[in-house]
Amino acid sequence: MSESKKTTNHKEIQEWAEKHGGVPSIIKGTENDGNGEGVLRIHFPKKSDSNDSFEEVSWEEFFKEFDNSKLALLHDPNGNFNKLVNRD
């Protein structure tokens, strides 16, 4: 069993997500009328039954909101777990 890792490094996050089939996304219906992109997620379309709930965004858009919201990615290096959490 591997330990979870917390990171804010954009390159590391993008490489981890792409390695495991993840794409930068927001949950549809959570947009904030110009006050932010919405609730961010790394979505795994090939592993999901709810693809209609997510809207893919560019990595640039994802990381802009990621930084503005002061988030970090908590993840299992093997791709079994991930969660966006506060940086503190």
By the 10 Å C-beta count (0-12 exposed, 13-18 middle, 19+ buried), 54 is classed as buried
pLDDT recorded at residue 51: 61
pLDDT recorded at residue 47: 77
Distance, in Å, from the CA atom of 59 to the CA atom of 27, rounded to the nearest integer, reads 15
* CA 38 from centroid of its chain's CA atoms: 12
Residue-by-residue pLDDT tens, the chain, 88 positions: 568 899 999 999 999 999 999 999 998 877 765 555 688 999 998 876 666 788 899 999 999 999 999 999 999 988 888 999 999 8
Contacts of 77 (CB under 8 A, 6+ apart): 2, 5, 16
pLDDT recorded at residue 61: 93
